[in-house]
Amino acid sequence: MKIHLIALSHKIEPWAQAGVEQFIKRFPPEWRLTIKELKPEDRSSGKPVDQILAKEAERIRQAIPAGSLVVALDERGTDHSSKTLAMDLLKWHEAGEQLCLLIGSADGLDPQLKAECRAMWRLSSLTLPHALARVLVTEALYRAWSILSNHPYHRE
């Protein structure tokens, strides 16, 4: 299964990049996770937030691989346990779908873009910095894979 993560953020801190890379290298070749980092729009221009989000949405749409099942990561999304995430991944893997997850900028994602997504997931009720969200989602995906593979990483 191919999983793409598109994130609007400035370069993340080395500790977060190291954490992300640690989980990415643990995936087997048939479960490949790639990250595409997009630069957020300049917030000092005085443009209204809705215009900024619309411009970011244009760039995100261009970066989404064709035919992807798109899921927005958003604070208003659905909570998932590790097991329910694993079951969703299994369903999509068996259907031959590739997954594309979206992490918005400091102001989130454009409402129209979110409406176009197949689903919205919430990582946490806490406000998370982008770097930590990236580590968290990467670990959650790896944990879901470990559940599906009966790998000892996930314990109950």
Q: In this structure, what are the phi and psi dihedrals at residue 28, rounded to the nearest 5 degrees?
A: -70, 160
Spatial separation of the C-alpha atoms in residues 54 and 105, rounded to whole Å: 12
90 is in an annotated binding site: no
Sign of the CA dihedral with 45 first, then 48, 51, and 55 last? positive
110 is written with which tokens? 């454009």
Smallest Cα–Cα separation from 71: which of 96, 46, 49, 104? Answer: 104
73 is in an annotated binding site: yes
Residue 128 annotated as part of some ligand binding site: yes
Residue 124 marked in a binding site: yes
Q: How far apart are CA 81 and CA 87, in angstroms?
A: 10
According to the annotation, is 19 in a ligand binding site? Answer: no
To 5 degrees, how large is the angle CA 48–CA 112–CA 93? Answer: 135
3-state secondary structure of 150: coil
Known binding-site residue numbers for S-adenosyl-L-methionine: 73, 104, 123-128
Known binding-site residue numbers: 73, 104, 123-128
